[in-house]
Amino acid sequence: MPGCTWSRWRVRYGSRCARRRRTRFPGSSTRWPRGSRPPAPRERPVRQNDDLSVRKTMKRHKTVPVPAPTLLVLAPALALLAATGCTGQPPPADLSDADKLARVEEMVEEVERRFPEVEAVSVEDVGRLLETGSVVLVDARAPREREVSWIPGSITSEEFEQDPGRYSDLTVVAYCTIGHRSSEYAERQNEQGRRVLNLRGSLLSWAHAGGPIVGPDGPTHRLHVYGETWNLAPARYETTW
């Protein structure tokens, strides 16, 4: 430096520059003194609706989304499975009629434990009431099931509710496939002051007892059993669900 020796420049500037020495961090315009630590970088918040993260999570856990309409359709069947104590497994194809009837009885007992307040009547008793004309059978199943076959002389739940007073002098008995839905129906009607009984074992017990079943073309051996789990009709029946 002109007019200044090296030693004088070092004494005047060197130590001061050393004290003020800064460290520049990559990607930052801020200089931090040596020995100090910059603040931790802010983590990017994970969005709950991040499509990529959702897809990765589903792939990792092999999750299959179930549409809401599908759940609504499955809800009655799942409730019936829980109520009848079933595991959801279809019965073996080689079951004898006696074994099928035994399984039906197990399901019926579970239904009766679930609806202890609902009065049940046996198939034999209903047969005797039908001979005297003192009973009306109410089909509590869905229309698609009734289109296949039904017990002769029975009416739909809609027909009964349109004019319940018309049947006040008769014994009203509801039925379905196994007795769960008809017990629910009877329970609702009883809460409204109408005495409705449940056909014990419903259509499955009726079929095993040899009761007549009719379809659109007259007597038939076709039967809608609601689901494969309840495919317990006698071997002579053609079942659907």
Which residues carry out catalysis?
176
Residue 134's alpha-carbon distances to 137, 169, 239, in angstroms, are 10, 8, 30
Supply angle C-alpha 196, 200, 206, rounded to 5. Answer: 115
Integer Cα distance of 90 and 42 in angstroms: 56
> Which distant-in-sequence residues (6+ apart) come within 8 Å of 150 by Cβ?
139, 213, 214, 215
- Amino acid at position 12, single letter: R
**Tokens standing for residue 145:** 């099931």
Q: Supply the DSSP string of 93-144, one letter for each residue.
A: TT--HHHHHHHHHHHHHHHHHH-TTS-EE-HHHHHHHHHHT-EEEEE-S-HH
